[in-house]
Amino acid sequence: MPTVALDTALSPAEAERLEALHDQAILDTPPSPDFDALARLAAQACDAPVAGIGLLDRDRLWFKARVGALPAELPASACLAEETAQALGGLLCVPDLSDDSRFQIHPVRTACPEWRFYAGAVIHDEAGHALGVVSVASPEARQLDAGQRQALADVARLAWHAIDAHAQRRTLARQAITDPLTGLANRAHF
C-alpha cells in the first residue's frame, strides 16, 4: 500500500489523512461514470453550472469528476477544501466570495475569478479523514436552500462510497491474479 513519506512539515494528523487518501489509489485515475454522475447530480441538485468531486492531495485539489468550467486541479492554496472541512458540519456555503471578508484576498479569487457563489461538502472516509470535497460554484451570488444543502452533503457521502468501491474493486482484481501465500502472480495471471 502507498505510504506518505515522513515529512517534518506535516502534522501527524495530516500525514495520516494523506496516507488514507493514497491508500485508496484513486488519484490521477481516468474518468469514471460513477463519479461523473455524482458531479452532475451535485450540479443539478444545487442548480449550479460548475461542480466537482475533488480529492485533496498534499499540494493540490485534483478533480476526479467535473461539470462546467473547472480546471483538472487547483493548487491546494487556491482551493476552499480546508475552509470547507473546518466549516460547521463539513458544509461551507459562501453566497458571494467577492463580498465575504474571509475570501477578499484568498488565492481562489485569482484561480477562479468568475466564481461568486461557492458551496462545498467534505468527503469523509470511515475513520473521519477529510479526503476531499464535493463543490459547486456559480458566477452569480446566491444561497442554497436546506434541501440543496442536504443534497450536497448526500452527494459527498455517496462520493465516499464510490471511492471505497473503487478501492475494493482494485483489491479484488489484485487478489484474483495473485497467490495469497507468496504474493506472486498465480495461474490465472499467466
CB neighbour list of residue 16: distance below 8 Å, 6 or more residues apart: 129
- Burial label for 63, CB within 10 Å (0-12, 13-18, 19+), is buried
Per-residue DSSP letter, 122? E
Report whether 51 contacts 66 (CB < 8 A): yes
Task: Return the H-helix or E-strand segment holding 27.
Answer: none
Residue 112 C-alpha cell reads as 477562479
By the 8 A CB rule, do 94 and 136 touch? no
Tens-digit pLDDT profile for residues 66-118 = 999 888 998 888 888 788 888 778 899 999 998 888 888 888 888 888 899 99
The 10 Å Cβ neighbour count of residue 155 is 25
Q: Rounded to an integer, what distance in angstroms lies between the CA atom of residue 150 and that of residue 128?
A: 19
What are φ and ψ of residue 91, in 5° steps?
-130, 125
pLDDT digits (tens, 9 = 90+) for 117-153: 999 999 999 999 999 999 999 999 999 999 999 999 9
Cβ atoms of 73 and 79 closer than 8 Å: no
- Ramachandran region of residue 70, left (φ > 0), alpha (ψ -120 to 50) or beta? beta
Of 18-22, 70-74, 138-142, 170-174, the one with minimum mean pLDDT is: 170-174
> In the chain, which residue ranges form alpha helices assigned H by DSSP?
12-23, 33-45, 81-86, 108-111, 146-176
